Amino acid sequence: MQSPNIVEVNAPDFPREVLQASHERPVVVDFWAEWCGPCKTLGPVLERLAVEYDGAFRLVKVDVDANQALAQQFGVQGIPFVMAFAGGQPVSEFTGALPESQVRAWLDPLLPNELDDMVEQGRDALLEGDDAKAEEAFRLVLSQQLDHQEAGTSLAQMLIAAGKTDEALDVLAPMSATAEVDRLRAAARLSENRDQDVSGLARELEDDPQNDAKRVELASALAGRAEFEPALDHLLNVVRNAGPERENARQAMIDIFGVLGVEHPLVLTYRRQLASALF
């Protein structure tokens, strides 16, 4: 294990060393134990490939005896158990000491290819301020693979920033559901309303305070401008009223939660209040 691409990790470091690191390149996690004979067969194969592939993926070794809760979290029922992560999510797995040829066949689809390289070129162009070149690269990738996650999410972010929310949702439509895809879909739906006249909507609501549809419209406009707390207050009011607009308000609150993230203080506060209002 004299390679920077092979590390041993325990539970406290797993989020950083695996989940976060997998946004940069694929991470292969080998759940093993000292007493496991098949682990001693598979382990050297994985380590040899990590060296041979020279940084195309990172190999992380997790001793299940020292990290039982972590093994349970990821459903490890037999070892060796190997799981690949990309973009912070598990994407593939296998159990048992596969021969090297089968391990290579399992690895190859996970590793960066020509399309991935084009995405990186697009991201480099973004960093250089060349949005047109970046968009061209992302669209070229999607023309060859409609559901390419990295190209799709990158392009969707650009489109949302440009106010092209419908087009962003179209780009995201073929994508498998991940935390990032769900966040961007929510952001696109919220951004659809950011150009509405908030002051005018507020005056209309003052004249008709029982109008839940108008309240949802005002909340959506506020959320589109990232004024999330007053938006959530209005939406929660509509949910508590339990009228025809209740589901629209609930979905709008869920979209805001998706944009802010589960640990955001507003999400922690309003999720509890939403649950109380619903049940």
- State whether residue 255 is helix, strand or coil: helix
Output the six-digit token pair for 173: 């439509």
Does residue 73 have an active-site annotation?
no
Question: Which of 18, 28, 36, 235 is flagged as catalytic?
Answer: 36
Question: Which of 21, 39, 103, 118 is flagged as catalytic?
Answer: 39
Q: Please answer whether residues 259 and 157 qualify as being in contact, where contact means their C-beta atoms are separated by less than 8 angstroms.
A: no
Does residue 39 have an active-site annotation?
yes
- State whether residue 30 is helix, strand or coil: strand
DSSP string covering 76-132: --SSSEEEEEETTEEEEEEES---HHHHHHHHGGGS--HHHHHHHHHHHHHHTT-HH
Separation of CA 114 from chain center: 22
Nearest to 28 by CA among 69, 80, 101: 80
Where in the sequence numbering do the catalytic residues fall? 36, 39
